[in-house]
């Protein structure tokens, strides 16, 4: 049986690498915030904003749920 402590460093390294990758992507890409929702994108940001506006206009309940469940669009 594996030692649980031997597995833990891999998880923490993976988490650090994931955070560094996300940080680098945010710094290299364009960011925009709509109603507290962070949008990280190089291309297609306008289409994402238009889609969010459609959801907000035609289904406000689903839009509020989306804002509560999602912190960023990458």
- pLDDT at residue 69 above 90? yes
Counted domains in the chain: 1
Ordered strands of the 30-34 beta sheet: 30-34, 37-41, 72-73
State residue 2's pLDDT score: 55
CA atoms within 13 A on the CB side of 35: 14
pLDDT digits (tens, 9 = 90+) for 13-64: 888 888 888 788 777 777 888 889 988 887 778 888 999 999 999 999 999 9
Return the pLDDT at 52. 93
Structure confidence at residue 8 (pLDDT)? 55
What is the predicted pLDDT for the residue at 7? 54
Q: Poorest-confidence range of 3-7, 13-17, 67-71?
A: 3-7
43 lies in which domain range? Answer: 4-73
């Amino acid at each position: 049986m594996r030692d649980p402590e031997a597995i833990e460093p891999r998880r923490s390294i993976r988490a650090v690498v994931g955070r560094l990758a996300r940080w680098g992507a945010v710094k290299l890409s364009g960011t925009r915030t709509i109603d507290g929702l962070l949008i990280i994108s190089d291309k297609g940001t306008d289409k994402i904003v238009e889609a969010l506006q459609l959801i907000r206009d035609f289904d406000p309940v689903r839009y509020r749920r989306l804002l509560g469940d999602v912190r960023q669009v990458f």
